[in-house]
Structure 1
Amino acid sequence: MRRGFSIWVTLLTMTLWAATALGVPVIDRAVVDQAGVLSDEAIASLSATLHAHHQATGVQLAILIVPTIGAEPIEDYSLRTMARRPGRQRSGRARDYGPRATPKSPRGWLRPRARAQRPCHAHHSRRRAEQSARGALCRSL
C-alpha cells in the first residue's frame, strides 16, 4: 500500500512537471506578446524594425512578452523557450548566439547573479561596456 502511494505521488509530480514544461511558448514570429502589453501597431512596427535589422546585420532578434514565468529562474526559462524555437536545428552557416534575457524589475534592470562575485572595478567597466552596447543596439532599432 505504501509503495503504491509513493509511485502515485511520483507519477503525479512527473505529470505536473511535464505540464509546466509544455507551457513554453513557441516563438514563430519576431514579436510574441502573450501578456497583451503591446498594441497591434506597436507589434507591426517592432516586427518591421527587427526584420530590417536582420536584413542589415544578419542577426535575428525576437521579442517575447509573457505575463509571468512563475518561480523559475529567467535563465532556465529563456533556455527552454529558445530550445523549442523553429529553425533551431539548422546546419550550415547559421550561427546561434543563444538566448538573451534582460527582464526589468521595479528596481531596474536585473543582472546575472554571477556578477556579485567579480571585483568592483571589473564590474563597473563591464557594466559600462554593456550599457553602451545596449544603447547602440537600441539606437540601431
Structure 2
Amino acid sequence: MKINKVLVAVDESEGAKRALEVAEALAAPAPDMHLDLVYVVPIPLLDESQTASFKEILDMMISDGEDVLAKMEGDMSDDVAARTETLLLTGVNPATEIIKLTEQRAYDLVVIGNRGLSGLKEYMGSVSHKVVNGAKVPVLIAK
C-alpha cells in the first residue's frame, strides 16, 4: 500500500506533537506524500440564544486553534510544510469530525496522538480510540 495522503489530528497535547513527528518522518523521504493537519474546536450543543452568548468564546477558541495549526506547521521542515495543508473544524465531538473528514477526503492514513493514559482511562472516551474504531482507513496512534 502506497501512502500518498495523510491526515494528522493535532491539538496542544504532547501526543499530538509526537503524531506530527511521526507523520513528518513518514513524509520526509516520500516527496509525493501530502499531509493535512486538522484541529477540531469542540463546541457544545447550544440553542440560538446560548450560541449568541458563546460567540466571543468560540472566536477565541478558533483563534487558539489557528495558532496551534500555525505553530505545528512552523515546526515542520520547509520541504514537508510545503506539502501540508491546515484545516480547522468545529464540532461537538472531535473524533466524529475527524472520522467525517476521513470519509470526505481520500486519506491513506490517519496519524493521531494519545494522551498517555493507561488502563481503562485510555479507552473510555478517548478521541484516538473513537477514531480507531470509526475510521475506514488505517490509523496510527503515536505514543
Is the TM value for this pair above 0.5? no
Which protein shows a greater Rg?
1
Q: Which has the higher helix share?
A: 1
Q: By percentage of residues, which structure has more strand?
A: 2
TM-score scaled by structure 1? 0.31
**Under a length normalisation based on structure 2, what TM-score does the superposition of the two structures give?**
0.30
Which protein, 1 or 2, shows the higher relative CO under an 8 Å CA cutoff with sep ≥ 6? 2
